[in-house]
Amino acid sequence: MTKYVVKRILFMFLTMFVITVMCFVLIKLLPLPAVREMGRDINLVLAKREKMGYNKPIMVQFFLYLKSIFTEWDWGVGEQMYEGLGIWDVMMQKLPYTIVVNLYSILLSIPLGLGLGIYAALKKNKWQDAVISTMVMVFISVPSYVYAFLVQYIFCFKLNWFPLQLASLSQAGSLVSGKMFVSMVPAIMSLSFGSIAGFTRYTRAELSEVLTGDYMLLARTKGLTKAQAISRHALRNAMVVILPMIIGEFIGILGGSMIIENIFGIPGIGNLYVNSINVRDYNFFMALNIFYTLIGLVSGIVIDISYGFIDPRIRMGSKK
């Protein structure tokens, strides 16, 4: 197990390195955008460019880039947006919004999704199951931005229950205040429909498979009630598959949804990424590429390893 984990992590670093090099070279091959005159920190940006060796060969620039990250934790400064501000500081300022919105969404979708999935599995092939499964099919297929438009139109415009845009930090006081929560509700709803449906589908599939297992029959035969058998045997076995999925979702919180953040004006990390592409700020773009790649890789590893920890029957890295 340890050997497997170490191997996976080492390979993750290799992958990370290769992708970073590719990204860096491809970005450096693009024409360098001029520093905009409007920023008061134009000299700072120019000095930064000098320090990062913008007139040296690309490979030298890459090592300077890595050096400044590892020695000073310096990811560069914004050139086309947030001029002169440190990339890392801006990212850390945006990240809480993304985390809070997605956390609310997950805290809503996990219990709902699991509950609906369990209910559907227990009522398998009855009308309740048919209704839930149909809804799941619809909600899993329809893209999240379609819900976002619907939610925005119905709840923000027609019913006027929620504000159209996110409350600003100064208005709401803090990120977790009630006022902030209310203004986040449309985004949370749009994010949750899809993930509720996803959880429901997996739970239903897993649980209904587990329920037909021989050990369930044995549990009933030895005198457990149906509820006992389900909660002690079926659910635990179904969790082997569902729990890694939940863990994956929790890591995914960091990345957030670019399109939902864009629609509801959440100043999160996804929005920052899209903006950096649209204004061609390559320093932000590079840093966020690394960020997103890392999230993907880490969540993949954590999910795989968690299978081994949750289910003692699975031996990671074994030949058979």
Partner 1 sequence: MMEEKMNRDIPKIAKEKFAFVKRTDRIHDERLQTKAVGYLGDAWNRFRTNKSAVVAFILILVLLLFALIVPVVSNYTITFRDGYYKTVLPKAGIFKNSGFWDGGKRETQNEAGYLYLNAIGAENGKSAVMKEYGSFNDSTGARFYDLRIDSYNSVGYVYVNLSDAEYKALMEYQDKSGIQVFYPLAATHSKHFVLGNDGANFWYKLANESQGNSGAPVLDENGHYINNYLFSDDPEKAGYTGSRIAGDGENGVWYTYAQKNQTGYKARVDYDEYFFYRNGFHASFLFGTNQYGQDILTCLAVGARFSLILAICVATINFCLGIIYGSIEGYYGGAVDMIMERISDILASVPFMVVATLFQLHLASKVGPVVSLLFAFIMTGWVGTAARVRTQFYRFKGQEYVLAARTLGASDRRIIFKHIFPNSLGTIVTGAVMTIPGVIFSESMLSYLHIINLDTSSTVTSIGTMLANGNGYLNTFPHIIMFPAIFIAILEISFNLFGNGLRDALNPSLRGADN
Query: Which positions touch partner 1 (CB under 8 A)?
Result: 11, 15, 18-19, 22-23, 26-27, 29-30, 137-138, 140-143, 145-146, 149-150, 152-153, 157, 258-259, 262-263, 273-274, 277-278, 280, 285, 289, 292-293, 296-297, 300
Judge contact between 295 and 95, C-beta under 8 A.
no
Residues 6+ apart with CB under 8 A from 50: none
- Provide the minimum distance between the beta carbon of 134 and partner 1 in the complex, in angstroms, as a whole number: 9
- Provide the minimum distance between the beta carbon of 110 and partner 1 in the complex, in angstroms, as a whole number: 23
- Provide the minimum distance between the beta carbon of 295 and partner 1 in the complex, in angstroms, as a whole number: 9
Cβ closer to partner 1: 68 or 293? 293
Cβ closer to partner 1: 26 or 314? 26
Task: State the DSSP code for 316.
Answer: T
| Distances from the Cα of 238 to the Cα of 93, 210, 212, angstroms | 38, 6, 12
- Provide the minimum distance between the beta carbon of 8 and partner 1 in the complex, in angstroms, as a whole number: 11
| Distances from the Cα of 257 to the Cα of 82, 97, 128, 292, 297, angstroms | 22, 12, 31, 12, 17
- Provide the minimum distance between the beta carbon of 270 and partner 1 in the complex, in angstroms, as a whole number: 9
Residues 6+ apart with CB under 8 A from 208: 121, 124
Cβ closer to partner 1: 185 or 290? 290
- Provide the minimum distance between the beta carbon of 27 and partner 1 in the complex, in angstroms, as a whole number: 7
Q: Which residue type does 173 have?
A: G
- What DSSP assignment string belongs to 138-178? HHHHS-HHHHHHHHIIIIIIIS--S-SSPPPHHHHSSTTSH
Cβ closer to partner 1: 185 or 259? 259
Cβ closer to partner 1: 88 or 292? 292
Cβ closer to partner 1: 30 or 131? 30
Cβ closer to partner 1: 182 or 259? 259
Rounded Cα gap, residues 320 and 308, in angstroms: 14
Judge contact between 264 and 148, C-beta under 8 A.
yes
- Provide the minimum distance between the beta carbon of 126 and partner 1 in the complex, in angstroms, as a whole number: 17
DSSP helix/strand/coil, 64: helix
